Amino acid sequence: MKATLILANGSVFSGASIGSTSDRICEMVFNTSMAGYQEILTDPSYAGQGVVMSYPLIGNYGVNSEDNESSRPWVEALVVRHLSPRGSNFRCEDTLDDFLKQHNISGIQGVDTRALTKILRNQGSMNGMLTCAEHFNVAEALEKLKAYKVEHAVSKVTRTQPQVFPAQGEEKCRLAVMDYGVTQGVVDSLTRRGCAVTALPASTPAEEVLAGGYDGVLLSNGPGDPAENTALIAQVKKLYDSSLPLFGLGLGHQLLALATGARTEKLPYGHRGGNVPVRDLELGRVFITSQNHGYAVVRDSVDPAVAQVSLENVNDGSCEGLRYARPNCFSTQFHPEGNTGPKAVEYLFDRFVGSMGGAK
């Protein structure tokens, strides 16, 4: 079946439908990863977005039940150059196309993803409509695209009840994770280090967290514009004012910065991929990281009396991490667990566990 992708700038791409045939309107972004498409599809940070995979062949190793980053996919639409009709891997349980159909995710293949990625890179991320309709009105579609906005995304992806994940092996510390869209990879990275993890709904009051007897708090990754989460920012400020060790990841990094007086901004096309270079200014080393974000903390808005930029993006100099003057408090923009990319920056988890007294 024919499918059509219409961008907010008026560009139209034709191809063949994959997955669901339902119409979709979403924010179109691109990801440069060569692998990890299942982790990308199930990462809550992609809620409200459609993903263009720049690598030309996607789906060649299929999907399985073990690699999901959450209980369900969150990507609205998937755009690929070529979708492999079969999965060739000893862990393969199903094809990517069947996975998309099962979870009602619309998609299109046969698109010149190189040209599409260039548009999004040069003009910035923009809304798009994916349709399988035989006849459609581009002008009407553009009006709908103007009206679309990713809003209240955290409330859509956070869990509704606390969930406990026991430590693997000896328990060294008890940790609260504020679930703004946490991935399973983050939870696993912590439990492997001896943390008994309690994942809490995003709306959990700070007073309840502080009374829970935890050794530290992780502010997780998640989707959407960080600045719209005014209620969450107020609770994060209370956690910051406590003495508990804090570690912010992704959206959590941005919320922590906003809670301490800094500002955030939307990047033209964001950082999404498994090969993004980041410089650790404290160690004087460059690491390749896995990233997925469209917003960043404005470097010049960080009060040097409150925090110092500790990590920076090598490509554009944007803030990738903060080390706070307040004891045992730091944050990073990228994904240290690196389930879709390198794992060299997992030392940040070790640093956090060490700040809670759980170091080996």
Q: Which residues are catalytic?
A: 335, 337
> Binding residue per annotation — 295?
yes
> Binding residue per annotation — 294?
yes
Residues 6+ apart with CB under 8 A from 171: 194, 195, 196
CA distance 322 to 284: 15
CA distance 332 to 216: 16
> Binding residue per annotation — 213?
no
Q: Where are the alpha helices (DSSP H) in 29-76?
A: 37-41
Q: Which of 51, 148, 36, 38 is nearest to 108 (CA)?
A: 51
Q: How many residues does the chain have?
A: 360
> Binding residue per annotation — 269?
no
Q: Which of 315, 316, 351 is nearest to 332 (CA)?
A: 351
> Binding residue per annotation — 212?
no
Q: What is the DSSP letter of 6?
A: E
> Binding residue per annotation — 210?
no
> Binding residue per annotation — 89?
no
Q: Which of 34, 57, 116, 29 is nearest to 288 (CA)?
A: 34
Q: What is the DSSP letter of 345?
A: G
Q: Which of 186, 194, 172, 261 is nearest to 218 (CA)?
A: 186
> Binding residue per annotation — 254?
yes
| Neighbour count for residue 95 (Cβ, 10 Å) | 17
Binding-site annotation: residue ranges for L-glutamine: 45, 222, 224, 251, 254, 292, 294-295
Binding-site annotation: residue ranges: 45, 222, 224, 251, 254, 292, 294-295
